[in-house]
Amino acid sequence: MRMGVLDVGSNTVHLLVVDAHVGAAPIPAQSFKHELRLAEHLRQDGSIDEEAVQALIAYIKESTAGAEDLGCTEILAFATSAIREATGGERVLERVRRETGVELRVLGGDDEARLTFLAVRRWFGWSSRRLLVLDIGGGSLEIAGGTDEEPDVAVSVPLGAGRMAAQFFRSDPVEKEDLKDLRRLARRTIAEVVPAVAKFGPPDHSVATSKTFRSLARITGAAAAGEGPFVERLLRLSELSAQIPRLAAMTVKQRASLPGVSAGRAKQVLAGAVVAEAAMELLDLPVVEICPWALREGVILRKLDRIAAGS
């Protein structure tokens, strides 16, 4: 069957169309992506401004029409932290449903962690044994670990790269004190969840996924996306730590010229690097492997599992 998964995130709104069958890996057919950056369109009261709501509705109409033209029979639509935490988010969801016919399901942070963990487990398989997964999105950091397809622990903390860049970076290049403030917050927040993760024992395989980690791995020398999804890509803590002072000294425009960093992500890649470094250090992860599958694939796989179970 051909289905789509619509991901309304803090950074991007992304509709991925795949050919999916029970017992097989979903194969991408087409991708529609728009960098809407909902997290940057919040009013003082925490609500999403009208301009962003209108842009979201217009994009959903456009992308879903494109998916239908491609023969897509079902769209699995969900929203993450930007709408989950926005004041009046329910009104935005209702307006999207009324004007587009698409019903967005709001995922909790722990649900994001579990579904991402499922995708990573399916990608690497049982040979990974105890698996630990990190995922930095625009609004939050997810951590999940376990030996099965359902993780033993799944947590989410509000340390997304976009959120942190907006909160701490007021100048270009970034002021040293602002960077230190971000570092302190990241380490304090992650330290609070380390005991819940560590009590299950050290991982046999440490993995990171999603755009922030892919960009950081590329900056430190990992293979480009054009070399395909099956090339091993690693992010080493020592190399990441060495890059942070360099990134901090750059302007946003200069960061946008780095391999794997788009203009839209150039501001937040430094914030992502600080959060990634903190997570890897506090969880004692000298290296993580980059997985090409993440939350969207997890949503598709869970749907296929339910089809197979007849529910």
Strand order in the sheet with 153-157: 153-157, 141-146, 131-136, 205-209, 287-291, 234-236
Q: What is the mean pLDDT of each run of 10 residues along the chain (311 residues)?
A: 89 90 89 84 86 92 91 91 88 94 92 97 96 95 97 96 92 96 98 96 96 96 93 98 97 96 92 98 98 95 89 60
**How many other CB atoms are found less than 10 A from the CB of residue 38?**
28
pTM (2 decimals)? 0.94
Helix (H, G, I), strand (E, B) or coil at 242: helix
Counting Cα atoms < 13 Å in the Cβ hemisphere of 5 gives 21
Gap between the Cα atoms of 89 and 97, Å rounded: 12
Domains of the chain with bracketed CATH: 2-106 (3.30.420.40), 124-295 (3.30.420.150)
Average model confidence (pLDDT) across the chain: 93
Helix (H, G, I), strand (E, B) or coil at 209: strand
201 within 8 A of 153, measured Cβ to Cβ: no
What local confidence, expressed as pLDDT, does residue 297 receive?
94
Amino acid symbol at 278 = A
218-253: buried (b, 16+ CB within 10 Å) or exposed (e) per residue? Answer: bbbebeeeeeeeeeebebbbebbeebbeebbebebe
270 within 8 A of 244, measured Cβ to Cβ: yes
- Euclidean distance between the first and the last CA atom of the chain, given in angstroms as a whole number: 17
Strand partners, 14: 7, 33
What local confidence, expressed as pLDDT, does residue 311 receive?
60
Give the list of residues 6+ apart from residue 236 with CB closer than 8 angstroms, or none.
220, 286, 287
What local confidence, expressed as pLDDT, does residue 244 receive?
97
Strand partners, 74: 3
What local confidence, expressed as pLDDT, does residue 43 receive?
84
**What tokens appear for 171 in the block?**
């100048």
Q: How far is CA 203 from the centre of its chain?
A: 21
What local confidence, expressed as pLDDT, does residue 11 receive?
83
Gap between the Cα atoms of 305 and 124, Å rounded: 18
